[in-house]
Structure 1
């Protein structure tokens, strides 16, 4: 999704585009090839605005998520966020070190043969976690 379309969608839904919201969205788009933790976003924004509250960041992240403008991923006890891909249905390989994602273009759902009788699937998610080539190399040199 292009940033301008992102802003237009928020405005159509009645949200104000405050300076903080612009900064949050700009950072999310700058990191659009990877998931980021809220703490990373908070650290970045607090380096610019010492008085910024956690509540402001979390409120904005949850608003964007609830409006379908952010993808959310639970990893352990941490929640990660990113701008959703615009590609057709696919899943991701996720690097645990840097958060970068790589598309997994096939869907494993077609391989599952034994669904529980009468089970209605509403949606599914599938991510593969590991270390990307860059992070593996970086780990070897440390």
Structure 2
């Protein structure tokens, strides 16, 4: 997903294009990592002095429902990032410090037997949490 695609999804679904919405989406386009609502608020407070968490959460929820943003929960906090542009099935490695992600193309669902006929699988989500190379090195050098 990129900014133009995100704005087109909003338009196709009949949602109003506002400067705030575009700026929120532009932030995700630039960052390419998971962001919390507080990150969005900090980034846009200088531009929109009256911006509230309610406005941020309402828009993040809308973007998530429209499939523009993906969400996850890290350390008890919802975080969001642009939905992946790739159509191939994959999962993510997620850095718990900086929020950067990396695709992994193996899937644990491949090990589940299709013979399990008493359970109908409707979907799944698999994420691996840890530290990216840069954050891991920083933690090692500071003894954290």
Decide: shared fold, TM above 0.5: yes
Q: Which residue of 2 aligns with 1:85?
A: 84
CA distance in 2, matches of 1:122, 1:76: 26
SS of residue matched to 2:99 = coil
1:61-72 → structure 2 map (5 Å cutoff): 61-72=60-71
CA distance in 1, matches of 2:75, 2:140: 25
Unmatched 5+ residue regions in structure 1? none
What are the Cα deviations for residues 60-87 of structure 1, in whole angstroms up to 9, with x where unaligned?
A: 1011111111101122420010001122
Tell me if structure 1 keeps the 8 A contact 2:35–2:99: yes
C-alpha RMSD of the superposition: 1.6
How many pairs does the alignment contain? 141
Q: Which residue of 1 aligns with 2:131?
A: 131
Tell me if structure 1 keeps the 8 A contact 2:74–2:96: no
CA distance in 2, matches of 1:37, 1:47: 17
- 1:49 shift after superposition: 2.3
Unmatched 5+ residue regions in structure 2? none
Tell me if structure 1 keeps the 8 A contact 2:96–2:131: yes
Tell me if structure 1 keeps the 8 A contact 2:91–2:106: yes
- After the TM superposition, list the runs of 4 or more consecutive aligned residues in structure 1 that deviate by more than 4 angstroms: 114-117
Q: Which residue of 1 aligns with 2:94?
A: 94
